């Protein structure tokens, strides 16, 4: 997976300034096709719940954004389950 995203962060500092930061950047990761690992279980999942495909996803990204009041910078890694109906 290669993805280009445009994230927007709104902030408010108690008793201080408020603002919005825009942080575009690349993300990358992988999908593991779980339905192929056990076709019999995948068929039961489809018959019982209507899920035609299931994937395990792992994605990482970095973002940097700043304005006159605040600077954000960091990496994020997510693990997820993607289900297709």
pLDDT digits 0-9 by tens, 31-81:
999 999 999 999 999 999 999 999 999 999 999 999 999 999 999 999 999
Query: H-type helices in the chain, by residue range?
Result: 39-49
pLDDT digits 0-9 by tens, 1-42:
899 999 999 999 999 999 999 999 999 999 999 999 999 999
Nearest Cα to 58, choosing from 31, 83, 34?
31
pTM: 0.71
Largest Cα–Cα separation, the chain: 59
């Amino acid at each position: 997976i290669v993805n280009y995203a445009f994230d927007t962060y709104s902030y408010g500092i108690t008793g201080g300034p408020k603002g919005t930061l825009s942080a575009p950047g690349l993300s990358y990761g992988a999908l593991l096709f779980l339905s192929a690992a056990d076709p019999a279980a995948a068929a039961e999942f489809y018959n019982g719940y209507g899920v035609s495909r299931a994937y395990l996803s792992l994605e990482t990204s970095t973002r940097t954004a700043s304005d006159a009041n605040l600077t954000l910078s960091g990496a994020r890694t997510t693990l997820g389950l993607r289900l297709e109906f």
